[in-house]
Structure 1
Amino acid sequence: MIERKAGAATSLRTIVAASPILCTILDRWTSIDLPDCWLSGSAIAQTAWNAAFGLSPEYGLADIDLVYFDDADLSEEGEARQVARIRGLFPDLPLWIDAKNEARVHLWYEAKFGYPITPYRSSEHAISTFPTTAGAVAIRPGTAGLSIFAPFGLDDLLSYTVRPNKAQITQVIYEAKVARWQSCWPALTIVDWHEN
């Protein structure tokens, strides 16, 4: 579902508007031109944490994730072409930009993580399986301003709470992410895997 709570959505839009990196990507959105595409994942959460803790907008960001859904081309080569094209659009950004075709994730997931997943039906379906509730947030320009997709709402994101989304990940994956994030943002509230 698209996030509809006006106060939380307004807070996130304010945070995004203050980020030169996220704004650069959103300002060039029409050039990205990928089907069912969203700017998603940890970069949004980390930008919100940076705003909350008085850090620079780019602090701790490892990369920027764009997810899209193109079930007409499930090839690794097709995805690699899109990744190269997208990176060429942002030579001025200091971060790695990754673009993942969520329609093909099931083809490589087991080899990387050790267990199979069913194919995603859309980018939104994929985002709904992201490892944490705070990171399962995506944005893109819309006709009425910034569109926000937040299947778990924005409360965890805006209260700096990291909670596992057990739809797909394992405890090991969750705890590895938490360890990195705690080293950068020690004031986060971390929900233990077994408490959720």
Structure 2
Amino acid sequence: MLGRLPLAEQLVAFRAALGHNEILTEVMARTATLDLPGWYVTAGCLFQTVWNVVTGRPPAHSIRDYDVFYFDDTDLSWEAEDAVIKAGQEVFDGLPAEVEIRNEARVHLWYERKFGVPCAPHDSTESAIDRFAATTCCLGVRLERGGEWRVYAPHGLSDVFNLVVRPNPVLAPRQVYEAKAARWKEEWPELTVLPWPSGEAGGDPRR
């Protein structure tokens, strides 16, 4: 099984799996042209691509959108983020997918109003990825200068390849994890969904 390979071989297999999703690789290539600070393509479009490849489904099956995170704390205004979003709309024009761009330096300004729990300011894109509701979601990939791939996977890749959904109780409510896991289980019934630990809070409900 791919989840039992040495980490270096898992990284090769991970990149190969993502490469099957032509929409994803195009999103990565176009995002690189925006030159956003600390950017990653992240969340569902990554682990769901792997699930699709591992289970023999079309690579883009049931992927709702493609998330791009970046981190710019030099200007926390909505106007600055909106300018980036509008630039992205031009760059991604013609792609058969929705691409959502968000400045993770601004999340704490609106998070509690939207999700009902406070969120401490992130200090990097990586710290935002760390707070997703499931550890399986905690992934980020970007193209570096020269075409090299940078992969951020703080919990490794074994669960992704092994189709395991594991809770990450650091921020959002338990019901968010359970709702997402239930939806994923409907689309990918091969998944093993691990239960939320009792007495814990939660991870970022956005992914």
TM-score scaled by structure 1? 0.93
- Aligned residue number for residue 145 of structure 1: 148
The CA deviation at 1:184 is 0.8
Is 2:178 the partner of 1:175?
A: yes
For 2:24 and 2:98, the matched residues in 1 are separated by 13
| 1:133 matched to 2:135 | yes
Q: Which amino acid aligns with 2:151?
A: I
| Structure 1 position 71 matched with structure 2 position 106 | no
Aligned-residue identity in percent: 37
- 1:32 equivalent among 22, 34, 47: 34
Report the more deviating stretch, 49-58 or 4-13: 4-13
Query: Where does residue 51 of structure 1 map in the other structure?
Result: 53
**Secondary structure in structure 1 of the residue aligned to 2:197:** helix
User: 2:117–2:172: 8 Å Cα contact kept in structure 1?
Assistant: no
Q: 1:129 Cα deviation (Å)?
A: 0.8
Higher deviation after alignment, 141-150 or 66-75 = 141-150
**1:54-96 deviations in Å (ceiling 9; x for gaps):** 1111111111000000001111222122112112111222211
Deviation at 1:29, TM superposition (A): 3.7
Secondary structure of 1:28 counterpart: helix
Q: Distance in 2 between matches of 1:93 and 1:35?
A: 23
- What whole-Å deviation, never above 9, does each CA across 1:16-67 have from its counterpart, x for those lacking one? 1111011112222431211110111111011001101111111111110000
3-state secondary structure, aligned to 2:67:
strand
Partner of 2:119: 117
> What are structure 1's unaligned runs of at least 5 residues?
none
Give the secondary structure class of the aligned counterpart of 1:60: coil
Aligned counterparts of 2:158 and 2:172: Cα–Cα separation in 1: 21
Runs of 4+ with deviation above 2 angstroms: 26-30, 142-145
Structure 2 counterpart of 1:15: 17
Letter in 1 for 2:168: N
Select the residue among 4, 7, 10 that pairs with 1:5: 7
The counterpart of 1:86, out of the listed 72, 82, 88, is 88
Instruction: Tell me, yes or no, if the aligned pair for 1:133 and 1:157 is still in contact at 8 Å.
Output: no
SS at match of 2:28: helix
**Cα pair distance change 1:52/1:163, threshold 3 Å:** same
Given that 1:41 and 1:138 are in contact with CA atoms closer than 8 Å, whether structure 2 keeps it comes out as yes
2:157 matched residue in structure 1: 154
Partner of 1:192: 195
Q: Which residue of 2 aligns with 1:165?
A: 168
CA offset at residue 144 of structure 1?
7.0
Aligned Cα root-mean-square deviation (Å)? 1.6
